[in-house]
Amino acid sequence: MKIASFNINGVKARIEALTAWLASADADVVVLQEIKSLDEGFPRDHFGDLGWNVETHGQKGFNGVAILSRSPLEDVSRGLPGDETDEQARYIEATVTGQRAIRIAGLYLPNGNPAPGPKYDYKLAWMRRLQQRAAELLVSEMPVVMLGDFNVIPEPRDAARPEAWREDALFLPESRAALRRILWQGWTDAVRIRDPWAARGPFTFWDYQAGAWNRDDGIRIDHLLLSPQAADLMVETGVDREARAGEKPSDHVPVWVRLAA
């Protein structure tokens, strides 16, 4: 089972690019972020005609997450537990049925800028809630893939120019420590584990400004975290870097893992 994450930066604006990538990706499950669409406005018929089961947690104009799956999706839940007042559409869970059931937790973690400030406070509070939910998912002892745009640069090697991000919410020590606390619960960073000694990259995001793509001035903020049961099934993982060079691309590229399931 090939499971991918893709911050599409507007599903309607990138529908042609997303459709082309889906045709070539051979993916079984795709988690999308920044769909920027209400649930009723999501082009589900388009993807349904292509053979995808679709579940969304949308929001008008920004945020929004979705799961596309070749197999049926069960036990779908929307919204990160822990704060009933949080109205931002950033989290969705579902179980993918098949030869082996896999729990999918798709997320779009808050950016947090400018920091310090209320947006950064919200980011850190959201990460504390995510840590709690991650611990609960581990207790289930089923294969879980928690994936999406985490908006956290884990290490200096995950940025082409780490010094440029020193004061940014994506790279502040508190953000990185919050992600480490989740990882230390027992999760495997699938993209990093494929080349743990890499001195630079791989990157998953290049800004549209200042020729970042042409200069390979990227960062790694899209992550696939595997529970121990999912990590035991990992066959291969990758970053579809070439998607950034396509027509009207997202500023992110897909990251994926293949499980023996």
- Name the domain count of the chain: 1
What pLDDT score was predicted for residue 154? 98
What pLDDT score was predicted for residue 228? 98
What pLDDT score was predicted for residue 180? 98
Q: Parallel, antiparallel, or unpaired for β 102-108 and 144-149?
A: parallel
Domain ranges, residue 99: 2-259
Among all residues, which ones are annotated catalytic? 108, 149
Q: What CATH code is carried by the domain that includes residue 153?
A: 3.60.10.10
What pLDDT score was predicted for residue 150? 99
Q: Are 208 and 218 in contact (CB under 8 A)?
A: no
What pLDDT score was predicted for residue 210? 87
What pLDDT score was predicted for residue 98? 78
What pLDDT score was predicted for residue 20? 96
Give mean pLDDT in consecutive 10-residue pieces for the chain, a chain of 261 residues: 98 97 97 98 98 97 97 97 97 93 98 98 98 98 98 98 98 98 98 93 96 97 98 97 96 98 81
Bond prior to 173 in cis (omega within 30° of 0): no
For helices 118-139 and 173-183, give the axis angle rounded to 10 degrees: 10
**pTM surpassing 0.95?**
yes
CA distance 239 to 256: 6
Question: Which is nearest to 126 in space by CA: 143, 109, 139?
Answer: 109
Residues across the chain = 261
Q: Which long-range contacts (CB under 8 A, 24 or more apart) does 113-120 make?
A: 113/168, 113/169, 113/170, 114/169, 115/167, 115/168, 115/169, 115/172, 119/169, 120/169, 120/172
What pLDDT score was predicted for residue 193? 93
What is the dihedral sign for C-alpha 250, 43, 12, 41? negative
CA distance 150 to 48: 27
What pLDDT score was predicted for residue 82? 97
Give the tokens for residue 173: 């020590």
